[in-house]
Amino acid sequence: MKKCNECAYIFDNQEWKCPNCQYNPNLINGCLSFAPEIIDKVESYDPIFFAKLAKVEAKNFWFRSRNRLIIWAIKKFFPNQKNFLEIGCGTGFVLSGLEKSFSQLQLSGSEIFTQGLEFASQRLNRTQLFQMDALHIPFEDEFDGIGAFDVLEHIQEDHLVLGQIYQALKPQGSLILTVPQHPWLWSQADDHAFHVRRYQSQDLKRKVQEAGFKIVKMTSFVSLLLPLMILSRFSQRREQENYDPLNEFKISSWLNVTLEFILSIERQMIQSGVSFPWGGSLLLVAIKI
């Protein structure tokens, strides 16, 4: 079901024009835009990073490993879902992995910044893309699954976003989240990434449950690499001039392959039932009840 962002009217027409108030979202670069008025006002991210990320994601161990973990979680817990929305899809790297892994899954991706959607549209073949504010999702009981991958940490009102996701999911719909973990790992990298928080596992669990979800899987990941991450992040505690937050992705090819191999071992452990208590990130899988 569609939900009009102007008058909150719920309707099931194929077109987006609201039958009640006649509101009709505009197109920006070929994508429906539900919140064009806030594009230049949002300070949760710097869209200049989209171009830089688009160059490194496909080869970097962290992005590749996270994609494999997300794909495993969908196959494991929600193999029969028919449609899936990614909130904050950025350059479309996660969705590109989903396109290849789920040929029958109807995919949608939203992003508040049109710059990200420009890169995503070049990368994707069959995903519907639109510009949207996650605080005002224009759907109700629409999706079998919704994911937000390293997005919630950018949003002050994360509990409101979780409520909007709950509204947009069908009964028994799936929620999949990844977020950075451990406030004590905060460093200059978080400042430059426009993070509002790094999560404690119990804090994320509480917010998801308060939104109405039942958690079916929760684990840390990037756990086997946590000692290296601690060294890296603690070295960034001092303010550095001309700091480049993407420097941590600029590593040698042999190190990149080695770290990806270690995370593949970690993923196999998670797939076998291990839930890590510590790690650089958290994966949470839940259902709407």
Distance CA 182, CA 197 (A): 9
Residue 136 has pLDDT above 90, yes or no: yes
* 250 band by pLDDT with thresholds 50, 70 and 90: confident
- CA angle 107/15/8 to nearest 5° reads 90
Predicted local confidence at residue 121, as pLDDT: 96
pLDDT digits (tens, 9 = 90+) for 186-231: 998 898 889 999 999 999 999 999 999 999 999 999 999 999 999 9
List b or e across 260-279, with b for residues whose CB sees 16 or more CB atoms inside 10 angstroms: bebbeebbebbeeeeebeeb
pLDDT > 70 in the chain, percent: 98
pTM of the model: 0.95
Q: Is 159 exposed, middle or buried (0-12, 13-18, 19+ CB in 10 A)?
A: middle
Residue 25 has pLDDT above 90, yes or no: yes
Domains and CATH numbers, the chain: 31-288 (3.40.50.150)
End-to-end CA distance of the chain: 18
Amino acid at 287: I
203 DSSP 8-state letter: H
Residue 8 has pLDDT above 80, yes or no: yes
- CA angle 267/271/274 to nearest 5° reads 90
pLDDT digits (tens, 9 = 90+) for 83-124: 999 999 999 999 999 999 999 999 999 999 999 999 999 999
pLDDT > 90 in the chain, percent: 86
